Structure 1
Amino acid sequence: MNAVSALPAARDPLARRDALDALDALDALDLLVVGDIMLDSWVWGPPRGLSREGPVPVVAVAGRSEAPGGAGNAAAAAAGLGARVRLVATVGDDPDGARLRELLHDAGVDTAAVLDDHGRRTVHKQRICSGEHLHLRVDSGDEAPSGPAAGAGIRSRLFDAAAGALSLVDSSAAVLACDYGTGLFSPDLVRRLGSAARNAGRPLVVDAHEPRRWAPARPDIVTPNAAETSSLLPPDAAGPFLADRPRAVAAHAEAILAATGARVVIVTLDRDGLVVLDGAHPPLHLPADPAPDGHTAGAGDTLAATLATAVGGGAALAPAVTLAAAAASVVVRRPGTSVCSAADLRACLGPRPPGAIDLPALTEQVRAERGRGNRVVLTNGCFDVLHRGHIAYLAAARAFGDILIVGVNSDAGVRRLKGPERPVNALEDRLAVLTALTDVDHLVVFDEDTATDLITALRPDVYVKGGDYTEAMLPEAALVRAQGGQVRFVDYVPDHSTSGLLDRIRGGRVPALARRRR
């Protein structure tokens, strides 16, 4: 049996540095994405028990979201990293197809080669959720092969060069094929795409429900998940695969590589991380930070898109895999189908200030605390020039639960919110003071202008803000309630604000008690 060695993990400073160096090369890179696209939609809300009409859960709808799915999600993921993405696909000439085009355009994806397949219904996957539980998925749309006109249009867009211009394959740094079995890829298209990428010297990355179909294309990288990998193993490997999936994949590396025809196979094993097979070196294993199964939609798309963008930018395999695994770890901590941006990756892979915990690790700690029956409270702020008002506020917030998490704005975030002269105290200084407070259990740094990403990942039981806010002023409030949490406000301490304190210092106004003590 082949041994499984450890891939340099995202926690390794050297691996982080190499991955971040590779990330810097991805901006404005041209990526071609070809594949099956679909509309993903989600209905969210707190549970209301079981229906009297039957043993099914009732969800009180509090929110809805839509996103491109399949190859559309992969294209959006690459665009989020800064790539210039051209998408070749088909949609039905129906309202779902029109909405999908709109979402792709909003994500920054070039949809000039997204063709209408007349008479066809767009694939639409609708999910109904409450809390972290997925109750139901409803699929609709046509998954038969594309019609002759659409197929001819796809081939023309991919391989025919306009006068004085290159074909889409030739003019791209890399090609990503997303084959989810909804009818786009014929055997002829598979062979022609592989041949065109090879002749142009462009990396071909394939994410396919049936990886064996792509062996004639001789792809550079294939990214099968656990179920897809099990179909590549010999019959006698089923038992060992169930017992120890990374080790079983390593033991059958040659068979998996031969079945896919790929130079590199990156097997994704959800909670068991991923295993890299390249035939020239021992298999490499990168463990995962586990996430709820209901959050894993789109993680494979994100991983494949990040890999294709990274290798298209010239990254070596190890940093490309580190980037891809980090991007997948970001999106699996968000409900729905989401995108990991370049800023998200820099935050995930960059150095952590002393006193703060990164969001993936904090998410796992929160899950453990809930398992022990503890109530989780979240608040956030700049906490620049800590004063009595802050101390009273944090003590009051802590009283709403058992664990208090404080989100702290990054220095760049404070400047956007408060102006170019703030913060007075740099992030490390603000964290050092907050760490000394007994009411604070965990600190996490965020760069966004709102706490939406923190709330999405941590799902607090209570979200607390100061009494100078109202619910109408908080875009986060609806999300908290949709996730089953409460929004609470703490009375504001009069005449104790950072801005007021700084105004008095700048004006030379010293409180009377302080003057008497001098």
Structure 2
Amino acid sequence: MVVGDVMLDRYWHGDTGRISPEAPVPVVKVNKLEDKAGGAANVAKNIAHLDGQVSLLGIIGDDEYGRTLQSLLIDEKIESQLVVQRDHPTIAKMRIISRHQQVVRLDLEDNFTQNHSQLLLDKLEKIIKEYDFVVFSDYNKGSLSLIKKMISVSKSASKTVLVDPKSKDLSQYAGADFITPNLTEYSAAGGQVGSEAIIADSAREIIKSAKIGAMLLTRSEQGMSLISADEKHDFSAQVLEVSDVTGAGDTVIATLSVMLAAGMPAKDAVEVANLAAGIVVGKLGAATVSPEELGRKLSQYLVETGEHYQAPFEDVLQHIEFARQSGEKIVFTNGCFDILHAGHVRYLAQAKAKGDRLVVGLNNDESIARLKGPERPINPLEERAMVISALASVDWVIPFGKLENNDTPAKLIEQVKPDILIKGGDYTVDQIAGADFVLANGGKVEVLEFLNGCSTSNVIKKIQQF
């Protein structure tokens, strides 16, 4: 559940061709009106767009803007827990956009009173049991003036609490599991900048005194830092070009909460949230990220970092299963790939073309020594895995062959459960390890020809001639 300051974002789009004769300002000829859920509602929208089940608790007025916002929530599949107040207008922000640039913004708002915040607290107490995670989105409009009590209610119900803070007094968020300030908010709360050590010590002092579990500090072009009492993890910014940072903080806390709710460890959840932020700042306005966009970005990131090899084996199997559940065909092949050459590259590209995702089983060093002799491999496992991982055709690399007399990938194939098993050379299907398992489970087995003249042995012979 998302709790906080909800608002309507309204955009007027149009072209600018002249200056007003009444004043030195551009004249925008409006040709499009667009309404979006804003503030805390944008956090909820980000969660919904990542296929999370989410409700929104906030205050709106009994007016056109409030009714428009409620209609948007229905379209976004967000359960409304909004409280309607006749004595207070819905917060609305009007933006005039021309040629992808914001010309002016008009804010229609009155801050909420503590009585309004009490209404949210009362409703929270009634419905808290229905939720597992509570995200507080504080835009400093007053609806969360009683947030300390709200967090206490949430923690008493054993809920995980995340807060996007605005108050300079972070003790207002005591009991929260995570807070996500940006650098400006961190500094306003007394946070010190300078060296990484200073940032870590200062952030730890803040969360300790404020009784908060951990801080995810968003640092613009410097990326993010996850800081807890005993750890600090830094994440580089993942964006090439910034179009608009509007709503980026909403995307970060929304993605973090979804990943945590899915059971992901905090460090990994932040890593994914960092990737999501890199996507959304490349868009105009308060945008969101889809699972498909995030999946593509994550795949690219894993290839670039080699993480799809370095990740724990159980995690890799889970990633493969997620891909299978998304309807993607899993292709498996294996080999030593001691010295990568043109034949390998062509072979792996052909294998990938047979499906959607390619898993490469890689003989470990001991296995190669047993198969090829004590002088092999030329390149150790870590280096071979990194080179193979860098190929665009390869999605995951999994080593095998730890045990003696276990130099075939048959066991690994049973764990991966590929849709298509590929082998290169002049094998027949009955000679291929794991073929019987794949066929018995409705899969296919194919043999691809190697590129003539290309082999690791030939490469080694040529090198020895010099």
TM-score by length of 2: 0.61
1:128 Cα deviation from its structure 2 partner: 2.0
Per the alignment, residue 233 of structure 1 pairs with: 190
SS at match of 2:55: strand
Q: Give, as a single letter, the amino acid of the residue that structure 1 aligns with 2:59.
A: T
Residue of structure 2 equivalent to 1:318: 267
Q: Give the equivalent residue in structure 1 for 2:456.
A: none
Matched, 1:221 2:178: yes
Alignment partner, residue 448 of structure 2 = none
Change in CA separation of 1:159 and 1:120 when aligned onto 2, cut-off 3 Å = same
Shift of 1:212: 2.3
Percentage identity across aligned positions?
28
Show CA shifts across 1:211-263 (max 9, x none). 525545321000001211111236xx4xxx4xx58665335222332454321
Mapping of residues 271-286 of structure 1, within 5 Å: 271-281=221-231, 283-286=232-235
Structure 2 residue identity aligned to 1:115: V
Corresponding residue of 1:504: none
Corresponding residue for residue 67 of structure 1 = 36
Task: Give the Å deviation of 1:176.
Answer: 0.5
- Aligned partners of 2:39, 2:49: CA distance in 1, in Å? 15
State the shift of 1:130 in Å.
2.8
Q: Which runs of 5+ in 1 are unaligned?
A: 1-31, 161-167, 355-410, 413-424, 430-518
What are the Cα deviations for residues 89-137 of structure 1, in whole angstroms up to 9, with x where unaligned?
Answer: 11011100110111111111000x2110112111111122233432211
Q: Closer, same or farther in 2 for the Cα pair 1:159/1:270, shift >3 Å?
A: same
- CA displacement, residues 479-502 of structure 1 (integer Å, 9 cap, x when unaligned): xxxxxxxxxxxxxxxxxxxxxxxx
The answer to whether residue 96 in structure 2 is matched with residue 139 in structure 1 is no
Query: By how many angstroms is 1:270 displaced?
Result: 1.9
Give the corresponding residue for 1:116: 84
Q: State the SS of the aligned residue for 1:296.
A: coil
Contact 1:246 1:275 in 2 (8 A): no
The runs of 5 or more residues in structure 2 that have no matched partner are 304-326, 329-349, 355-466
After superposition, residues 181-260 of structure 1 pair within 5 angstroms as: 181-186=140-145, 189-210=146-167, 212-215=169-172, 217-233=174-190, 237=192, 241=193, 249-258=199-208, 260=210
Take 1:323 and 1:298, find their aligned partners in 2: how far apart are those partners? 17
Task: For 1:229 and 1:353, locate their aligned partners in 2 and report how far apart those are by CA, in whole Å.
Answer: 30
* Partner AA of 2:158 in structure 1: G
Residue by residue over 1:348-372, the C-alpha shift from the partner in whole angstroms, topping out at 9 and shown as x without a partner, is 2124999xxxxxxxxxxxxxxxxxx
Aligned to 2:284: 335
Whole-angstrom CA distance in 2 between matches of 1:216 and 1:208 = 8
Alpha-carbon distance in 2 for matches of 1:267, 1:353: 23
Change beyond 3 A, Cα 1:216–1:286: closer
How far apart are the structure 1 equivalents of 2:24 and 2:204?
Answer: 48
Q: Distance in 2 between matches of 1:352 and 1:218?
A: 34
Instruction: Choose 333-342 or 315-324, whichever is displaced more.
Output: 333-342
CA distance in 1 between counterparts of 2:154 and 2:68 reads 31
Q: How far apart are 1:319 and its partner, in Å? A: 1.3
SS at match of 1:197: helix
Question: CA offset at residue 39 of structure 1?
Answer: 0.6
CA distance, structure 2, for counterparts of residue 119 and residue 40 of structure 1? 21
The amino acid that maps onto 2:13 is W
In structure 2, C-alpha distance between the alignment counterparts of 1:286 and 1:273, rounded to whole Å: 5
Amino acid in structure 1 at the alignment position of 2:93: K
Q: Does 1:159 align with 2:116?
A: no
Instruction: Give the Cα separation in 2 of the matches to 1:304 and 1:141.
Output: 24
SS in 1 for 2:288: coil
Is 1:180 the counterpart of 2:139 in the alignment?
yes
Counterpart in the other structure of 1:303 = 252
Q: Deviations over 1:437-482 (max 9, x none)?
A: xxxxxxxxxxxxxxxxxxxxxxxxxxxxxxxxxxxxxxxxxxxxxx
Distance 1:352 1:224 in 2: 25
What's the offset of the Cα at 1:195? 1.9
Of the structure 1 ranges 196-205 and 223-232, higher mean CA displacement relative to structure 2 is found in: 196-205
1:287 paired with 2:256, answer no
Are the equivalent residues in 2 in contact too, given 1:246–1:272 (CA < 8 A)? no
| Cα distance change, pair 120–215 in 1 and its aligned pair in 2 (3 A) | closer
Q: 1:136 to 1:275 in 2, by over 3 A?
A: same
The match for 1:511 is none
Paired amino acid for 2:211:
G
Instruction: Decide whether aligned partners of structure 1 residues 67 and 272 sit closer, same or farther in structure 2, where only a CA change above 3 A counts.
Output: same
CA contact (8 A) 1:246 1:285 kept: no
Note the C-alpha offset of 1:426.
Answer: 11
4+ residue stretches of structure 1 with deviation over 6 A? none
Match of 2:293 in 1: 344
Q: 1:4-43 residue pairs with structure 2 within 5 A?
A: 32-43=1-12
CA distance in 2, matches of 1:260, 1:127: 37
| 1:280 partner SS | coil
Q: Take 1:141 and 1:426, find their aligned partners in 2: how far apart are those partners?
A: 59
Residue of structure 1 in register with 2:359 after alignment: none
**Which residue of the partner structure matches residue 506 of structure 1?**
none
Distance 1:43 1:307, change over 3 A: same
Distance 2:196 2:111 in 1: 33
| Secondary structure in 1 matching 2:72 | helix
Larger RCO: 1 or 2 (CA < 8 Å, sep 6+): 1
State the one-letter code of the partner of 2:141: T
**Is the 1:132–1:294 Cα contact (8 Å) retained in structure 2?**
no
Whichever residue aligns with residue 246 of structure 2, its letter is A
Instruction: Please show how residues 44-83 of structure 1 align to structure 2 within 5 Å.
Output: 44-48=13-17, 50-83=19-52
Partner Cα distance (1:314, 1:352) in 2: 21
Structure 2 counterpart SS, 1:58: strand
Cα 1:318–1:213 change in 2 (3 A) is: closer
- How far apart, in 2, do the equivalents of 1:142 and 1:71 lie? 16
Over 3 Å counting, the alpha-carbon distance change for 1:213 and 1:347 in structure 2 is: same
For residues 302 and 181 of structure 2, the distance between their equivalents in structure 1, rounded to whole angstroms, comes to 36
**Aligned pairs, how many?**
314
Counting only pairs closer than 5 Å after superposition, residues 73-112 of structure 1 correspond to structure 2 as 73-111=42-80
Higher-Rg member (1/2): 2
Q: 1:428 deviation in Å? A: 5.6
Cα offsets for 1:157-180 (capped at 9, x unmatched): 2113xxxxxxx3233121101111
Tell me the distance in 2 between the aligned counterparts of 1:232 and 1:63.
41
Tell me the secondary structure at the aligned position of residue 58 of structure 2.
Answer: strand
CA distance in 1 between partners of 2:275 and 2:301 (Å): 15
